[in-house]
Amino acid sequence: MVGGWIIEIKPLGGNVYRLWCVDRQGDECAVHVKDNGIIKERGDAFLSEECWWQAGKVMLQHDTLKLEKIGNSYDPRTTP
């Protein structure tokens, strides 16, 4: 399980977004998600929201909202 607080939401095209997060230790990690319409609708309202991901799902809002994870998480500071 990986996660943290969302510090950036970046559209990557179509309904795919990058969530850039920072965890309790200050480590940064990013994950791509397939939006089901909620990010497009509420966008920046998710900034500072805590999220976590595991097994192809990204969980938000105290596990009440699920998004599909695309690929693996990565360090966004070292990946273009």
Q: Each residue of 4-55: pLDDT tens digit? A: 999 999 999 999 999 999 988 889 999 999 999 999 999 889 999 999 999 8
CA atoms within 13 A on the CB side of 70: 11
E strands along the chain, which residues? Answer: 2-13, 16-22, 28-34, 50-54, 57-60, 65-74
Quote the pTM value. Answer: 0.91
The β-bridge partners of 74 are 30
Kindly list the structural domains of the chain, giving each domain's residue range(s) and its CATH number in brackets, ordered by start. 2-74 (2.40.50)
